[in-house]
Each structure stands twice: as C-alpha cells, then as structure tokens.
Amino acid sequence: MTLSYLTRAAVLLVGTAALTASLSAQARELSVSTVLPDAFPWGQAAEKWAELIEERSDGRLTLRVYPNSQLVSGDQTREFSAMRSGLIDAAVGSTINWSPQVPELNLFSLPFLMPDEAAVDAVTGGEAGEMVFEAIESRGVIPLAWGENGFRQLSNSQGPVSEPEDLEGLKIRVVGSPLFQDTFSALDADPTQMSWADAKPALTTGAVDGQENPLSVFDVARIDQVGQEYLTLWNYMNDPLVFAVNQNVWQTLDEVDRELLRETAIEAGKWEIAMTREQESERLASIQARGVTVTELTDEQHQAFVEATQSVYEKWVPRIGEDLVEAARSAIDAR
C-alpha cells in the first residue's frame, strides 16, 4: 500500500511538473523598445500594440514596453543593432534611428522628398515600402507594420526662419545620422549631433540654438519653455515608425502567434497614424497660444530650401539605392 501511495504521489508530482513546464512554455514575454514614453504618440503606439496582444493572446504572449531607450542606455541609434543581436526582442522604432544599420531607411530623411501625408502613404504603402521592408529583413529583423512620428519642423531661439540664409551659423541639434549633418550643412547651419536625452539641457543652456522634431514632440516636451520661441513649418522630412521583431525570436513562434503579432502591429500602427495626424492642428494651436511665433513657408520660400539641399541627393541617392528612390518618386507623382 505504501509503495502504491508513493507511486501515485510520484506520478502526480511528475504530472504537475510537466503541466507547469507546459504552461511556462506557452506563456512568453517579449521586450519592446521605444524611444519616447506614452506621453507621446510614439510611446502610445507601443503601448497599444502591447494592449492588443494582451487582449487577444489568452495569456500566451505579452509585450513589455521599455521606453526612453532604456534597453540601450539612452543611445537610440543602437536600438536596431540591439534588436538584431537579440538583446531586444522587438521595437517600435524610427527610420532615422535605424538608418545607420539599414541605409535604405535614409530614403525618408531625404529633404523635401515627401510634401504631404498622401505622399508618405504612397511610399510606405507601395513598392518602395516593400523594398524598405525587404532591406530590414535582410539584416535579421522582421518588419511588421508602419507607424508615424510625423513631419519634422524647425524651431530656434534666435528669430524667424523663412529662407536658407536665416539658418546661417545657427547651431541645430540633430540626431545621429550623417544625412542630417549634410542637410543642415548644405543650409549653412551648424548641425550638432546629440541624443534626445541631451537635447533639452543643451537648448536650456543655449549650447544649441535650435532643433527639429514633429509638433507632437515640441508640444508634449514643451520645447518653447527652453527658449524655442520661433517655429518654422517646412515639412522637410517625415519620420515613419516601424513595428519589428528580432528574426530569431520570430522563428521560435508558431504561426498563430506570428499572425497575431503582425495583425496587432498593423492595427496599432493605423491607430497611431490616424491619431498623430488628427492632433496636428490642435497641437499647433496650443503651441501658438503659448506665444511661439510660427512661420509658414510660401511655395517660393519652400522651393528655395529644396534647391539649397540638392547636394544631399547627389551624395545620398547612390547610398540609398537609385531604384528605391525612383520607386518612391514614382509613387509620390502618382498619388
């Protein structure tokens, strides 16, 4: 009787252990990196993705969002490399920040390439967008969906900017992308590379005169409170976001969870793009109400900036890929 009892107990323990192991194997948490927290649309995109996964995975899969580039010690340009190597499972990242590792992403940083939101959608939703996703995947990361950080506008503390000559000598904070250095150098400004974590203190002390960011960042971060009294709406480039997963992580998931990750990323991306665009006019009104002087370029003024930055195309189109740039231009022309 004692042996039978012990046998039954042993079987029960083994069964319990097997069940626990099975449940542990089924429940999986993936780390998701993003640069901005959920006070910004960018961070909200990552949180929305995590929320949708939690609702629909029945506990099999969860996404834990790490904002402020904390998984790469604040260095946003290292995010893609960290995801590719497996230090990060997934990310909602900027095409700008990932461009040092994926040169094709510099397409979106070409100055004045995409004049409006319809042009952005034509590029991301067409052949050029597919080519960009293929370039990302070839480097060990699976792209799933597009989001949007928005058109980047220019602000400074010195005076209105309505023509290239107004930028001469101004120290402008730019992200760690050589293309940005070349763009502002072409405009005779003094581009100063630094992370976003360092940018606001530099603006506060006057170490730099200006910066460029979407209206959402200007508004939520209250950039006007650090001397940025002049804002130029010039739509010089748009910064799409990409929802993506490390390739090795992707391969360990079954088809059901792969499809779940993709469909929720697409849904979160569409939600975030719509929200970002809908809030633009409200954000601009709020910024103006705080006393910021806003300059909107005429067609002639806009063209002057276009012509002043043509040297950037001569240098960067071969690096990005002529076929890719041509596909983007064709999509924009046909929009």
Structural domain containing residue 187: 28-333
Say how far apart CA 313 and CA 319 lie, in whole Å.
Answer: 10
Please check whether residue 90 lies inside any domain of the structure.
yes
Whether the CB-CB separation of 170 and 229 falls below 8 Å is answered with: no
User: pLDDT tens, 211-247?
Assistant: 999 999 999 999 999 999 999 999 999 999 999 999 9
Q: Is residue 222 part of a domain?
A: yes
Strands 238-246 and 171-174: unpaired
Whether residue 203 is contained in a domain is answered as: yes
Extract the runs of DSSP E, i.e. beta strands, from 34-138: 61-66, 90-94
- Residue at 18 is within a domain: no
* Within a domain: 281: yes
| pLDDT at residue 26, as a whole number | 64
* Maximum Cα interatomic distance, the chain, rounded to a whole number of Å: 97
Residues 6+ apart with CB under 8 A from 263: none
pLDDT (mean) for 106-111: 98
User: Total domain count for the chain?
Assistant: 1
Tens of pLDDT, residues 127-182: 999 999 999 999 999 999 999 999 999 999 999 999 999 999 999 999 888 999 99
Tell me the CA distances in angstroms from 134 to 13, 94, 129, 174, 267, one per residue in order.
49, 16, 9, 27, 21
Residue 99, domain CATH: 3.40.190.170
Rounded to a whole number of angstroms, the CA Rg of the chain reads 23
* Residue 2 forms part of a structural domain: no
Residue 221: inside a domain: yes
pTM for this structure?
0.89
> Who's near 298: CB < 8 A, 6+ residues apart?
none
- C-alpha 140/C-alpha 15 separation (Å) is 39
Does 13 map to a domain? no
pLDDT value at residue 2: 46
